[in-house]
Amino acid sequence: MNFYKGQHKFYCGIDLHARKMYLCILDEKGEVKLHRNMDTDREVFLKAIEPYREDIVVAVECMFTWYWIADLCQKENIPFVLGHALYMKAIHGGKAKNDKIDSQKIAVLLRGGMIPQSYVYPEKMRATRDLMRRRNHLMRKRAELLAHIQNTNSQYNLDETFGCIAVPSKRGNIIDKFDHPAVQKSMEVNLKVIETYDATLHDLEKTILRLAQYHNPVSYALLDSIYGIGKIGALTTILYEIENIKRFPRVQDFVSYARLVKCSHESNGKKYGNGGSKIGNAHLKWAFSEAAALFLRGNDPAKKWFERLTKKHGKGKALSILAHKLGRAVYFILKNKEAFDMQKFLR
């Protein structure tokens, strides 16, 4: 956890919403200079902080509307801090809670050097990252429809399985395999929506691949050297969720951010289990889990190595170990600018 330690004359805490924001400005002695509700408008915000522009820092809690104010502060050369929502317990743990109280708490944490920082993702790659996340969302919806078709097969205990219906040519005449017209209609609707998803995702993936190579061609080529990592599912997700590997001082920081390690809870020499499983980047966790499965496909040396690991730990934990190992490999590949080496990886 990183805290913002910068010293300034004025500290601005904002409880930000889509249409309104509550703004609180403290001076270096902790006295309230401004505390009021206002519209989420650029000109209104700049006018409010104008008397304190000589030396002010602005902080907001990380939520979906922070993009515009981060970009505005960067444009106006105003220091900006994005607070980590899950770590800001002082805001959520009070007896009374409203926008006015929350904005002052953010300003107080900022002034005291106790506001936990979240990463302010750069504007130049942010839109493509969001497009990648949208693609993953649509892909999961498509997978739900495919799973529903397979589950309906099991529900009616049909003689033949449908096989890999993710491939359009292998879907066959699924509708006629069911007798009841209501079930046939359900399958017809599923297949039509899946076809729409197929066309949309194909077009979307071409755009993402073009943009990914444009933004960071060196890192793209380095990640592409890792065996089994798909160009869309894992490669571009990893590339865009990391953005810049230099923001992680150590490999331990990176694998923790990617949710590839468990964080133990200890006190007085005793271990009380694990926690923090939801703190970190869920998209990187998914990407490395996907990469671990793809890494074994058609890779005989890796399969032999994985079999030994499975005998010792079981299949589930072995896959987690492989995902963690791939995460460490990605960190050093991007940091040292070296291509993937299979022999070194399996050594």
Give tens-digit pLDDT for 198-224: 999 999 999 988 888 777 888 888 998
SS3 content of the chain, % helix, strand, coil (to 5): 55, 15, 30
Q: 141: domain range?
A: 123-215
Which of 118, 135, 158 is the endpoint of a domain? Answer: 118
Residue 97 confidence (pLDDT) = 84
Residue 77 confidence (pLDDT) = 96
235 plus 341 within the same structural domain? yes
pTM for this entry: 0.84
Domain count along the chain = 3
47 plus 129 within the same structural domain? no
Q: DSSP string covering 94-148, please?
A: SSS--HHHHHHHHHHHHHTT-PBEE----HHHHHHHHHHHHHHHHHHHHHHHHHH
249 plus 166 within the same structural domain? no
64 plus 98 within the same structural domain? yes
Which of 58, 85, 118 is the endpoint of a domain? Answer: 118
Q: In the chain, which residues have pLDDT < 70?
A: 90-92
Q: Could you tell me if residue 179 is inside a domain?
A: yes
Q: Could you tell me if residue 209 is inside a domain?
A: yes
For the domain that residue 79 is a member of, what is the CATH number? 3.30.420.40
Q: Could you tell me if residue 141 is inside a domain?
A: yes
175 plus 242 within the same structural domain? no
Which of 118, 144, 171 is the endpoint of a domain? Answer: 118
Q: Could you tell me if residue 149 is inside a domain?
A: yes
Residue 35 confidence (pLDDT) = 96
Phi then psi dihedrals of residue 34, to 5 deg: -155, 135
158 plus 206 within the same structural domain? yes
